[in-house]
Amino acid sequence: MSNQPGFGGRGRGRYQRGGQQNYVRKNERIRAREVRLIGPEGNQLGVVSRDDALTLAKRMGLDLVEIAASANPPVCRILDFGKYMYEVSKRQKENKAKASSSSKIKEVKFRVRIEEHDYMTKLRRAEEFLYKGYKLKVSLMFRGREMEHQDLGLAMVNRAAKDLTNVGVADVPPRLSGRHINLIMSPLPQQKRLLKYNDAVSAEDSEDDSEEED
């Protein structure tokens, strides 16, 4: 059995979560007299004394790790501590990446008098963003005398939102701000998103950049 991070190593593991350091007790650092023990294969071994659990873990060449300190009695598992901490770190990075992706807002810009072909091109772009899990800003800018037809601009934004209900939902109704109408949409839960205007390949392979101002 290796000294890191086995019985001869440090008593607590350290990892990052939410900007703070957290500690995982293992082996002799576990304070409870009794623990609810889980075997290396995930099998329930019942409530046993900490010393008996330590002895069993040592016999297997593994560590006794406290995985649910707040439970009564605490839940401990026999496992390879190094691999365990690696998996914890890996999951945290994946969750952080997903959170970062979902917090980004992509933008697709429409016009009041847009040709149907251009509308569908932008709609497919918008669908791709929402399908991938990005929040989406649907925007429309009035130019010149188009401000006299705000109802047409509002209808256009509402049409886009309705056409995208297969992948997203509007957070709030469209809002007029100066010469712009803006609408923020959030993606549906992943298992509920359905492609309607794209195929799966194009949605995966497209670039993620928002549109530039026309």
- Selection from 141, 136, 142 nearest residue 108 by Cα: 136
Per-residue pLDDT tens digits for 160-184: 999 999 999 999 999 999 999 999 9
Q: Which stretches of the chain are DSSP H helices?
A: 50-60, 81-103, 116-131, 150-163, 200-205
Give the per-residue pLDDT at 8: 42
Give the per-residue pLDDT at 204: 46
Spell out the per-residue pLDDT of the chain, length 214, in tens.
444 444 444 444 544 444 334 578 999 999 999 999 999 999 999 999 999 999 999 999 999 999 999 999 999 999 999 998 998 888 888 777 666 655 689 999 999 999 999 999 999 999 999 999 999 999 999 998 999 889 999 999 999 999 999 999 999 999 999 999 999 999 999 999 999 999 864 544 444 556 644 4
* 26 secondary structure, DSSP code: B
Instruction: Record the pTM.
Output: 0.51
Domains of the chain: 12-100 (3.10.20.80), 104-205 (3.30.110.10)
